[in-house]
Chain A
């Protein structure tokens, strides 16, 4: 799982480098701007990924600049890197599996021990709706299709969670009626 994630970051960096050589700081900045809902990249992560890409001949050092400050290495994508990027973009991603997360574990545990699950589900809905509200506002302010698409992805996942919460509340209510 970790390898897959690292490779995805690697290809995102290749996608940025395809538009021109850049150093680690710029790569981090551009990545974080493109994916505001993703966790910001740590510098260490950027340099580790670049080192791996260089080892695999997917990027190469274009220039090393040493002024008064720390050494700055500019990286460029190689032909092999461009080919790897094209392959990555063409390959479809697997759908799931969607493993049970904390929310599912908590709901099921709560239901099985007889806690007031409906109240929890309603509170959770309010939390999800508050985040959805911020995203809907961000969507209105988005000025590019790329930014809108990125926000849509989070909105649709939140929406799926909200639908799951509603269905869970329905099932809890039906279960309560059946056992009453």
Chain B
């Protein structure tokens, strides 16, 4: 494999006495779709959050585009997450007080983009995700599938190079799950973005180019098909 765009090596991370990661690794090439799978409590989400620069591992290294994330201060890490990474979490995690279009525009507004342009871009992504009619709705007024599409629009509005999605279809029925997965795959393909999916769903894992299986905070030994 050529130089990975994102490379997390030998990560260790504990929460209290619980060792969530015990040397887990994850490499992602440009445009690659990688599924992180494994049983509950195997460290999938912790690896995902460390790789996305949300959590700091106690040891090991995470590099993005050749840059060691540990060398960045908190402001630079936040900027990186807003500009280069797009995060989709299982339950959308939208800001409940804001409308859909305000939620989607938020990363651009935080990055001090022009207000009108930010809202135009937000509406464009909502339209793309077949959710423009939800523009003025608040998260409490949306179904699970609708808020997940809005959350995806928000993750994509900055044109991320890596899309991180933690159980993006976990709360959805089969048909909505298929729809959300296809949107993520299609956008990743069209924009040459990498896509990192945490999932316990085999359908989602099957859609990935490669599967990284975790068990007890470590990578399951790789077995060729």
Chain B residues near A119 (CB-CB < 8 A) = 221, 223
Question: Does B215 reach chain A (CB closer than 8 Å)?
Answer: yes
Indicate whether A133 sits within 8 Å of B207 (C-beta atoms), given known contacts A166-B39, A173-B215: yes
Indicate whether A126 sits within 8 Å of B225 (C-beta atoms), given known contacts A140-B182, A152-B174: yes
Q: Are B225 and A159 in contact (CB under 8 A)?
A: no
Chain B residues near A170 (CB-CB < 8 A) = 39
Chain A residues near B224 (CB-CB < 8 A) = 123, 126
Please, what's the 1-or-0 string for A121-146, where 1 marks a CB less than 8 Å from any CB in chain B?
A: 01100111110110110011000000
Q: Are B202 and A129 in contact (CB under 8 A)?
A: yes
Question: Does A34 reach chain B (CB closer than 8 Å)?
Answer: no
Q: Are B203 and A155 in contact (CB under 8 A)?
A: yes
- A residues lining the B interface (CB < 8 Å): 119, 122-123, 126-130, 132-133, 135-136, 139-140, 152, 155, 158-159, 162-163, 166, 170, 173
Please, what's the 1-or-0 string for B184-225, where 1 marks a CB less than 8 Å from any CB in chain A?
A: 000000000000000000110111000101010000110111
Cα(A122)–Cα(B213), bound, Å:
10
Interface size classification for chain B: 10 to 19
Cα(A53)–Cα(B12), bound, Å:
68
- Known contacts A130-B225, A166-B39, A170-B39, then 18 further A-B pairs from the complex at CB < 8 Å, ordered by chain A residue: A119-B221, A122-B220, A122-B223, A123-B223, A123-B224, A126-B224, A126-B225, A128-B202, A129-B202, A129-B225, A130-B206, A132-B203, A135-B206, A136-B206, A139-B178, A152-B174, A159-B202, A173-B215
Return the chain B residue nearest A177 by Cβ: B216
Q: Are A126 and B202 in contact (CB under 8 A)?
A: no
Chain A residues near B203 (CB-CB < 8 A) = 132, 136, 155, 159
Chain B residues near A135 (CB-CB < 8 A) = 206
Return the chain B residue nearest A120 by Cβ: B223
Cα(A135)–Cα(B207), bound, Å:
10
Chain A residues near B206 (CB-CB < 8 A) = 129-130, 132-133, 135-136
Chain A residues near B220 (CB-CB < 8 A) = 122
Which 7 A-B pairs have CB atoms at the shortest separation, nearest pair first? A126-B225, A132-B206, A122-B223, A133-B206, A162-B202, A129-B206, A159-B202
Cα(A123)–Cα(B207), bound, Å:
17
Cα(A144)–Cα(B206), bound, Å:
22
